[in-house]
């Protein structure tokens, strides 16, 4: 999974949940919102997915 996949997944999920602000969704997809809470959460989840399970 790369950053573009994560951006797309975040934007697609927000759109599916009813967010209709096209400018905001476009900014997420283009990387202008990488420091926002949605992307930070998604990046943290992606990092956890790739880490070994806790002992």
More confident residue, 55 or 42: 42
| Structure tokens that stand for 52 in this block | 């070994």
Q: How high is the pLDDT of residue 5?
A: 95
Q: How high is the pLDDT of residue 14?
A: 97
| Structure tokens that stand for 55 in this block | 């002992």
28-52: average pLDDT:
93
Task: With beta carbons less than 8 A apart as the criterion, state whether 43 and 6 touch.
Answer: yes
Q: How high is the pLDDT of residue 17?
A: 97
Above 90 in pLDDT, residue 51? no
* High-pLDDT (> 70) share of the chain, %: 98
């Amino acid at each position: 999974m790369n950053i573009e996949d994560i951006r797309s997944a975040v934007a697609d999920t927000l759109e599916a949940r009813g967010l209709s602000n096209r400018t905001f969704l476009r900014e997420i997809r283009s990387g202008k919102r990488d420091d926002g809470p949605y992307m930070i959460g998604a990046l943290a989840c992606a990092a956890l997915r790739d880490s070994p399970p806790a002992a």
